[in-house]
């Protein structure tokens, strides 16, 4: 049969065009459906994230809890710190359970807190920089001034000793972005004076009493390092632990041979920090719990305050997935917390750039979530290194003690630097392990 042509066009072409349009429409519809599913579908929440959120959202008890006392430690001396802390916790629990600035200020106005006192030579020459090798010698030479300084600041020391009296420290507020953390010089002031008093005791021949006090302090600080779940608090706790351990090492060097065994109690108080503590597991878990509790609310409030509330309600669900964000956050914290290891006595820091890119690279349906993770998660690799170094400082103290007890200094050569593999060496009255020559200083403990 002859094909009919209209204006030179076959009638078959007229039939093909609608079919092509249908195919194109079908493909476009399929693409739109797939894209819509991709942009709106969220993942199932990881069971590990659920467990972390449940674990951290159970508030600790109020009774006999050192965290309650800690909340009120800076209250005026006329007030009971535990009662002030208890009032703050109870007020928070009447609301959303978060101990925020507003809650604290409503219970205890800012002007009633104790004023800060600088912990440096402006307050007393005895509060010199402990990182300076000459500082301990200065304190030793002027130890007769320590008692007067203690009498002046005794109430601050007693406040700190009140905290040490607690056995239990359990967070009393659910993790939240608005939680306030107190970083007070008054705690450091009390600690420094307590350390000064141990110097005075050894100078007075009371070595056993000084060793007992330092052992109790190191056990308390070790406990705090294990339980603290906030990055700045952990950094402060690391520095304070080093102060105490270096003080013990300095006083050991000043102890006559007949009394060296008195320091066995400090030796026994040194317990290596385990993998979870070194890897900052509790801090990363807290970050996950914070964002599990607050991220949705925070993002919506941010857009609302920017005047984009209506617009964000339309586009935010397309580029942010709550569950996927939390799952990715968990995977990322697992990656960074295991970045550093000790292998054959050497520190090994893995390059995680490719794995990080695989997790946090461009993701259209969770672009905002990935952006939040990359900017919000604390970078704790240097804190991990510092925690590993504390374990090495403990080993240095044990070696120094054993060398003095056995009168065998050759033992000091049995430890090598985790950075370079070189043997320990003496530098400015300190026994040291070499750093890596760039970002990390030598690991040193007082030794004479």
Residue 315 lies in a domain: yes
Q: Does residue 17 sit within a domain?
A: yes
Domain boundary among 247, 271, 295: 271
pLDDT at residue 1 in the model: 47
Radius of gyration of the chain (CA): 30
Query: Are 266 and 307 contained in the same domain?
Result: no
Mean pLDDT to the nearest integer, 169-196: 87
**Domain assignment of residue 400, yes or no:** yes
> Would you list the DSSP string of 106-143?
HHS-GGGSPPP---STTT-TTS--TTSHHHHHHHHHTG
Regarding whether 395 and 374 lie in a shared domain, the answer is no
User: Mean per-residue pLDDT for 73-84?
Assistant: 97
Range of the domain at 15: 5-40
pLDDT at 71 over 50: yes
* Any domain includes 276: no
- What mean pLDDT is predicted for residues 12-22? 64
As a whole number of angstroms, the longest Cα–Cα distance in the chain is 124
Write down the pLDDT at residue 246: 96
Q: pLDDT tens-digit profile of 99-153?
A: 988 999 999 999 999 999 999 999 999 999 998 889 999 999 999 999 999 999 9
pLDDT value at position 2?
52
Contact 225, 242 (CB under 8 A): no
* Angle between helical axes of 309-319 and 281-305 (0-180°, round to 10): 140
* Predicted confidence band of residue 39 (pLDDT cuts 50, 70, 90): low
Please provide the average confidence, as pLDDT, over all residues in the chain: 87
156/264 same-domain check: yes
Which pair of tokens denotes residue 303? 């857009």
* Boundary (domain end) residue, out of 238, 271, 304: 271
Q: Residues 109, 151: one domain?
A: yes
pLDDT at 296: 63
**pLDDT higher than threshold 80 for residue 24:** no
48 falls within a domain: no
DSSP H or E stretch at residue 392: helix 381-406
Cα 188 to Cα 80: distance, rounded to the nearest angstrom? 20
> What is the predicted pLDDT for the residue at 300?
54
Q: Where is the domain boundary, 379, 397, 425? A: 379
- pLDDT tens-place string over residues 263-311: 999 999 999 999 989 988 888 998 899 888 887 666 655 444 444 444 4
CA 316 to chain centre: 31
Residues 325 and 367 in one domain: yes
* Assigned domain for 277 exists: no
Report which secondary-structure segment, H or E, holds 349: strand 346-349
Regarding whether 196 and 79 lie in a shared domain, the answer is yes
The alpha-helical segments, DSSP class H, found in 165-230 are 185-203, 207-227
Q: How confident is the model at residue 232 (pLDDT cuts 50, 70, 90)?
A: confident
Report yes or no on 432 lying in a domain: yes
If one compares 305 and 50, the residue with the highest pLDDT of the two is 50
pLDDT at 40 over 90: no
| Structure tokens belonging to residue 236 | 């402060």
Confidence of residue 367 (pLDDT cuts 50, 70, 90): confident
**pLDDT tops 80 at residue 378:** no
Task: Determine which helix (DSSP H) or strand (DSSP E) holds 427, and give its type and residue range.
Answer: strand 425-427
Whether residues 70 and 173 share a domain: the answer is: yes
Nearest CA to 266 out of 247, 248, 253, 279 is that of 248
Q: What is the mean pLDDT of residues 191-202?
A: 98
* Per-residue pLDDT, 61: 94
**Are 370 and 391 in the same domain?**
no
CB atoms < 10 A from the CB of 174, how many? 21
For residues 186 and 74, state if they share a domain.
yes
Return the pLDDT at 428. Answer: 84
- 136 with 224, same domain: the answer is yes
**124 and 9 in a common domain:** no
- 64 is a domain residue: yes
Task: State what percent of residues in the chain have pLDDT above 90.
Answer: 57
Same domain for 85 and 168? yes
Report the domain count for the chain: 4
């Amino acid at each position: 049969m002859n094909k009919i042509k209209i204006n030179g066009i076959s009638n078959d072409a007229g039939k093909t065009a609608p079919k092509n349009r249908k195919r194109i429409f079908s493909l476009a519809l399929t693409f739109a459906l797939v894209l819509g599913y991709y942009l709106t579908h969220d993942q199932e929440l990881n069971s590990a994230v659920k467990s972390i959120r449940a674990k951290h959202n159970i508030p600790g008890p109020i009774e006999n809890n050192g965290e309650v006392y800690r909340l009120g430690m800076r209250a005026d001396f006329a007030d009971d710190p535990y009662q002030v802390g208890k009032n703050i916790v109870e007020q928070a629990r009447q609301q959303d359970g978060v101990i925020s600035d507003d809650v604290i200020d409503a219970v205890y106005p800012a002007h009633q807190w104790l004023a800060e006192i600088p912990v440096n030579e402006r307050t007393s020459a005895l509060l010199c920089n402990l990182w300076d090798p000459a500082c301990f010698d200065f304190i030793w030479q002027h130890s007769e001034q320590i008692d007067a300084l203690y009498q002046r600041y005794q109430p601050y020391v007693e406040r700190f000793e009140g905290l040490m009296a607690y056995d239990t420290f359990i967070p009393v507020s659910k993790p939240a972005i608005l939680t306030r953390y107190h970083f007070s010089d008054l705690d450091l002031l009390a600690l420094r004076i307590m350390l000064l008093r141990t110097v005075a005791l050894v100078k007075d021949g009371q070595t056993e009493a000084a060793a007992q006090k330092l052992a109790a302090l190191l056990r308390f600080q070790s406990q705090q390092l294990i339980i603290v779940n906030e990055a700045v608090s952990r950094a402060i706790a690391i520095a304070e632990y080093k102060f105490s351990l270096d003080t013990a090492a300095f006083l050991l060097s000043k102890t006559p041979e007949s009394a060296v065994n008195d320091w066995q109690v400090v030796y026994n108080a040194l317990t290596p920090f385990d993998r979870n503590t070194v890897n900052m597991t509790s801090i990363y878990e807290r970050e996950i719990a914070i964002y599990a509790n607050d991220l949705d609310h925070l993002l919506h409030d941010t857009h609302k305050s920017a005047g984009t509330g209506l617009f964000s309600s339309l586009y935010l669900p397309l580029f942010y997935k709550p569950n996927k964000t939390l799952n990715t956050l968990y995977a990322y914290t697992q990656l960074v917390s295991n970045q550093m290891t000790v292998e054959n006595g050497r520190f090994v820091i893995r390059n995680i750039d490719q794995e990080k890119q695989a997790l946090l690279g461009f993701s259209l349906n969770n672009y905002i979530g990935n952006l939040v993770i990359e900017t919000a998660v604390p970078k704790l690799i240097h804190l991990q290194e510092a925690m590993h170094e504390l374990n090495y400082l403990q080993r240095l103290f044990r070696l120094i003690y054993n060398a003095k007890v056995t009168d065998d200094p050759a033992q000091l050569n049995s430890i090598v630097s985790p950075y370079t593999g070189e043997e320990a060496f003496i530098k400015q009255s300190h026994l040291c392990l070499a750093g890596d020559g760039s970002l990390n200083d030598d690991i040193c403990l007082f030794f004479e």
